[in-house]
C-alpha cells in the first residue's frame, strides 16, 4: 500500500451521506435493462440494470474496455441506450429533447482523467468560465467561484495558471469548475488516472466530502487501492455486464485472483 492517508483540507460538512431518508426516496439514477451497441457493432453495455439512491456513492469498477466510461456517457446523454432506459431524476434520457440537454448537464458535475483546463486562463477564470458560458448574467459569480475553490482547498491559487499547478491541484480546479453549478450528481471518469497515489487519494477524499455535502457520486475507476480503502458501494462490470453490486465492497470479490 503506497497511499499515505493524510487528512484532507478542511471543509464544512452540511449533509450526512447515505441515510435512512435516501432509502425511502425515489432513485436519482435508474438503468433498466440497458444495452449499448456502438455504431461499429461493438456491444459496450449488455442488459445492465441498477439504481442509485440520492446521496449514494458508487464506484463503477472493471478492466479497461469493460464499459465504465460508457455508463458515464449514457448518464450525460453523450450516448443513447440502444435498448432499455436510462433515467435521471425520473426523466427518461431517450426522450429528452436536444434543447433540454444543457439543463440535464447543469444538474451534473463531471470530471475526467485529463483535467480539460484552459491553459491560458487562471484558476479563477477556468472555474468562472463554465458559468459565464451557460449563465452569463448570474449574480455573485465571484463569490460562487471563490466558494468552489475553497471547497477544493485552492482558495490561495486564484491567479495561478494550470501549468503552475501539480496534477492533483489541476484535478481540484476541474472539480471546483464542476461544483459551481452545485450539481446534485457528481460523475467522475477515472479521476485519479493521471495522478500519483497520494494525489489520487486526495481527490477521492474530496469526492467523499462532496458526497457528504449532499451530492450523489458515481466514480468509474480501475484504481484498486482507493476502492479497497473506501469500502463504498461497488458496481463491477465485465465485458459490459454488471457482475457484482455490493455495498461496502472491494475492487475484487473476496477470493478472486489478483489480476
Q: Select 100 or 116, whichever has its Cβ closest to ligand ADP.
A: 116
Question: Which cell is 46 given?
Answer: 449488455
Report d(CA 183, CA 76) in Å as an integer: 13
CB of 97 to ligand ADP, least distance (A): 23
Nearest residue to 145 via CA among 112, 115, 181, 109:
181
Q: Select 114 or 198, whichever has its Cβ closest to ligand ADP.
A: 114
102 binds, among ligand ADP, Mg ion, none (CB under 5 to 8 A by kind): none
CB of 113 to ligand ADP, least distance (A): 10
Angle made by CA atoms 252, 203, 256, in degrees to the nearest 5: 5
Question: Which cell is 129 given?
Answer: 468560465
Q: Select 65 or 102, whichever has its Cβ closest to ligand ADP.
A: 65
253 binds, among ligand ADP, Mg ion, none (CB under 5 to 8 A by kind): none
Q: Select 72 or 128, whichever has its Cβ closest to ligand ADP.
A: 72
6 binds, among Mg ion, ligand ADP, none (CB under 5 to 8 A by kind): none
176 binds, among ligand ADP, Mg ion, none (CB under 5 to 8 A by kind): none
Backbone angles phi, psi at 61, to 5 degrees: -115, 160
Question: Which cell is 145 given?
Answer: 467561484
Which residues contact ligand ADP by CB under 6 A? 38, 40, 42, 44, 62, 64-70
For cell 475526467, name the residue.
112
Report d(CA 115, CA 144) in Å as an integer: 20
Helices (H), 48-140: 68-75, 101-106, 123-134
- Please report the sign of the dihedral spanned by the C-alpha atoms of residue 156, residue 158, residue 162, residue 163: negative
Judge residue 214's burial from the number of C-beta atoms within 10 Å of its C-beta, 0-12 exposed, 13-18 middle, 19 or more buried.
middle
CB of 200 to ligand ADP, least distance (A): 17
Q: Select 68 or 172, whichever has its Cβ closest to Mg ion.
A: 68
Tell me, residue by residue from 31 to 70, as one string, x for binding to Mg ion by CB under 5 A and - for no binding.
-------------------------------------xx-
Angle made by CA atoms 124, 216, 34, in degrees to the nearest 5: 115
Check binding of 171 to Mg ion (CB under 5 A).
Answer: no
Residues that bind Mg ion (CB under 5 A): 68-69
Amino acid at each position: 500500500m503506497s497511499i499515505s492517508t493524510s487528512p484532507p483540507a478542511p471543509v464544512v460538512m452540511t449533509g450526512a451521506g447515505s441515510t435512512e431518508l435516501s432509502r425511502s426516496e425515489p432513485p436519482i439514477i435508474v438503468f433498466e435493462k440497458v444495452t449499448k451497441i456502438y455504431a461499429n457493432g461493438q456491444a459496450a453495455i449488455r442488459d445492465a440494470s441498477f439504481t442509485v439512491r440520492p446521496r449514494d456513492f458508487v464506484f463503477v469498477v472493471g478492466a479497461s474496455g469493460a464499459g465504465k466510461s460508457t455508463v458515464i456517457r449514457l448518464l450525460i446523454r453523450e450516448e443513447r441506450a440502444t435498448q432499455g432506459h436510462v433515467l435521471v431524476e425520473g426523466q427518461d434520457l431517450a426522450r429528452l429533447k436536444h434543447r433540454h440537454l444543457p439543463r440535464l448537464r447543469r444538474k451534473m458535475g463531471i470530471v475526467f482523467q485529463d483535467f480539460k483546463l484552459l491553459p491560458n486562463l487562471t484558476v479563477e477564470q477556468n472555474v468562472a468560465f463554465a458559468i459565464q458560458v451557460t449563465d452569463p448574467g448570474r449574480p455573485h459569480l465571484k463569490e460562487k467561484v471563490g466558494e468552489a475553490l475553497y471547497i477544493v482547498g485552492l482558495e490561495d491559487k486564484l491567479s495561478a495558471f494550470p501549468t503552475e499547478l501539480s496534477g492533483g491541484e489541476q484535478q481540484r480546479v476541474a472539480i471546483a469548475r464542476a461544483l459551481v453549478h452545485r450539481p446534485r450528481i457528481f460523475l467522475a471518469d477515472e479521476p485519479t488516472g493521471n495522478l500519483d497515489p497520494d494525489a489520487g487519494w486526495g481527490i477521492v477524499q474530496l469526492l467523499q466530502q462532496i458526497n457528504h455535502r449532499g451530492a450523489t457520486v458515481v466514480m468509474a475507476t480501475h484504481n484498486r487501492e482507493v476502492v479497497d480503502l473506501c469500502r463504498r458501494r461497488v458496481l463491477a462490470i465485465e465485458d459490459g455486464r454488471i457482475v457484482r453490486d455490493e455495498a461496502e465492497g472491494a475492487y475484487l470479490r473476496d477470493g478472486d485472483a489478483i489480476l
